[in-house]
Amino acid sequence: MNLYLEKFNNENEANHEFFNELRAYAEVNNVPIIKRDSLVLIQSLLNIINAKTMLEIGTAIGYSALSFVCSKEDLVIDTIERNEEMYNEALNNIKKLNKENSINIIFQDALEVDNTILKKYDVIFIDAAKAQYQKFFDKYAPLLNENGIILTDNIIFHGCVEEQEHLSKNVRSMVKKIDNYNHYLSTLENYTTYYIDSGDGLAITMRKK
């Protein structure tokens, strides 16, 4: 993010010092968290559409979920995390900000969650195992409210989706799945997707009217 603009976002960010600590923790411990410019964009969207409910696929340390509920106090988030260490770290961070009533973490593989325990959501945010993006979309899109949006982060994966030639075999395989997912979104008859060059790439998908 542009340093000049970041100063203004820092001033607007509730609990800024706490989130600075989370960003530092993520960097030291190699925890993938959403890029700041994409975070701010999503916070804006949540307020523009007046979102009340959100489903997040991939909690990690709770950074994005906490940022979202701090920017919109009437937002309630269900978030899914399969890694026990990340799950416990997120729980601790949620308690530090007293956001237990706003954020509910489901400790399970997102592909194994029983959808009947969930509800309808104004926003679905996909930010977990990138090779499974299409499966996540197909599983959870039916839970989207009529005027809701589906957000997918990391759709260019550090530019690797565009430049695949020098990647290792494993990384190339994952990147091809992300590329296939991006093309898949563009072919859906009932949805429109906008691809945004923000952070590590963000897809905004909504139902056609």
C-alpha to C-alpha distance for 185 and 61, rounded to whole angstroms:
28
Q: Are 154 and 197 in contact (CB under 8 A)?
A: no
Residue pair 195/151 in contact (Cβ under 8 Å)? The answer is no
| CA-angle at 62, arms to 31 and 124, nearest 5° | 105
**For residue 111, what pLDDT is reported?**
97
Q: What pLDDT score was predicted for residue 173? A: 74
* pLDDT for the residue numbered 201: 92
Report all structural domains of the chain as residue ranges with CATH numbers, in order of start.
Answer: 3-207 (3.40.50.150)
For residues 62 and 93, is the Cβ–Cβ distance under 8 A?
Answer: yes
Tally Cβ neighbours within 10 Å of residue 146: 8
The DSSP symbol for 130 reads G
pLDDT digits (tens, 9 = 90+) for 108-136: 999 999 999 999 999 999 999 888 999 99
Mean pLDDT, each 10-residue run in order, the chain (209 residues): 88 92 96 94 97 98 98 97 98 98 98 96 95 96 97 79 61 80 95 93 94
